[in-house]
């Protein structure tokens, strides 16, 4: 197994331990490698997401365009799975953009191949369900924080969860993600 295959397997194995056959067939479906240059897009609004991606290295942001603003809703870096989720699940055009913040290398699995594995292997479907649960719990936690926390508390919570984010992601995008102005963020955390 190559390094990215081992790392990708470990994401699914951490939820449900996959058997040798399951793992072999699973990895065989991640056939496409994709390179996205800095500032280029993995997907743009209006395109339909036909793949799930694994980030082997790089940095990306997911944003939602709103009036003149680009609202950051998430970041992906090394060793993350990423897709424009509503588009991927519903097979309809994406409302979101996914942009590379540095040159990013990804591996991709086709939507139909991925769903095909579910029919064959219960464990893969189960591991995926648990990964979705984890992502959903994160989103719910974030929603409550956005509704009830002060900017300082939102910042502190982010630091607990992702202490290295300032080394990876430009401040203006972190400010957007925390729903505060860059000025407010600078007041809380002087650069």
Partner 1 sequence: MQSLLSYIVSIEDTVKNEFYPLTESRLNWRKTPSSWSVLECIEHLNRYSSYYNHELRKSLDNAKTKGYPVEHPKSTWLGSKFIQMMHPDNIKKQKTLKRMDPANSALDKSVVKKFLQYQEELRHIIQDTQTINLNKSYVPVEFMKLLKMNLGDALTFVIVHEQRHISQAKNILNMNIPIAEPSLII
> What does the alpha-carbon distance between residue 188 and residue 191 come to, in Å, rounded to a whole number?
10
- If one counts every other C-beta atom within 10 angstroms of the C-beta of residue 28, the result is 11
In whole angstroms, the minimum distance from the beta carbon of 62 to partner 1 comes to: 7
For residue 137, state whether it binds partner 1 (rule: CB under 8 A): yes
- Identify which of residues 67 and 123 has a Cβ nearer to partner 1 in the complex: 123
Stretch of residues binding partner 1 (CB under 8 A), selected from 18-26, 76-84, 104-112, 180-188? 76-84
For residue 135, state whether it binds partner 1 (rule: CB under 8 A): yes
Secondary structure of 116-134 in HEC code, one letter for each residue: HHHHHCHHHHHHHHHHHHH
For residue 157, state whether it binds partner 1 (rule: CB under 8 A): yes
In whole angstroms, the minimum distance from the beta carbon of 119 to partner 1 comes to: 21
Binding mask 30-69 for partner 1 (x = CB under 8 A): --------------------------------x-------
For residue 179, state whether it binds partner 1 (rule: CB under 8 A): no
Q: How far is CA 27 from CA 13, 23, 105, in A?
A: 12, 6, 17
> What does the alpha-carbon distance between residue 32 and residue 53 come to, in Å, rounded to a whole number?
9
In whole angstroms, the minimum distance from the beta carbon of 135 to partner 1 comes to: 4
The site that binds partner 1 (CB under 8 A) totals a number of residues, namely 27
Ranges within 83-122 binding partner 1 (CB under 8 A): 83, 85
Stretch of residues binding partner 1 (CB under 8 A), selected from 37-45, 107-115, 134-142, 180-188? 134-142
For residue 1, state whether it binds partner 1 (rule: CB under 8 A): no
> Binding residues for partner 1, per CB under 8 A?
11, 14, 62, 74-76, 79-83, 85, 131-132, 134-135, 137-139, 141, 153, 156-157, 159-162
């Amino acid at each position: 197994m190559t390094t990215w295959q081992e790392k990708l397997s470990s994401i699914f194995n951490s939820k449900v331990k996959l058997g040798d056959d399951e793992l072999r067939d699973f990895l065989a479906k991640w056939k496409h490698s994709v390179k996205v240059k800095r500032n280029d897009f993995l997907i743009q609004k209006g395109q339909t997401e036909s793949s799930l991606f694994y980030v082997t290295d790089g940095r990306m942001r997911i944003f939602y365009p709103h009036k003149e603003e680009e609202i950051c809703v998430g970041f992906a870096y090394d060793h993350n799975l990423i897709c424009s989720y509503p588009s991927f699940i519903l097979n309809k055009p994406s409302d979101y953009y996914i942009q590379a913040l540095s040159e990013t290398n990804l591996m991709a699995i086709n939507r139909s191949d991925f769903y095909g594995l579910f029919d064959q292997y219960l464990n893969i479907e189960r591991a995926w369900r648990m990964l979705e649960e984890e992502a959903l719990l994160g989103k719910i936690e974030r929603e409550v924080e956005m509704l009830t926390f002060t900017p300082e508390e939102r910042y502190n919570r982010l630091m607990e969860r992702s202490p290295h984010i300032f080394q990876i992601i430009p401040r203006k995008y972190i400010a957007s993600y925390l729903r505060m102005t860059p000025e407010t963020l600078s007041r809380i955390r002087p650069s």
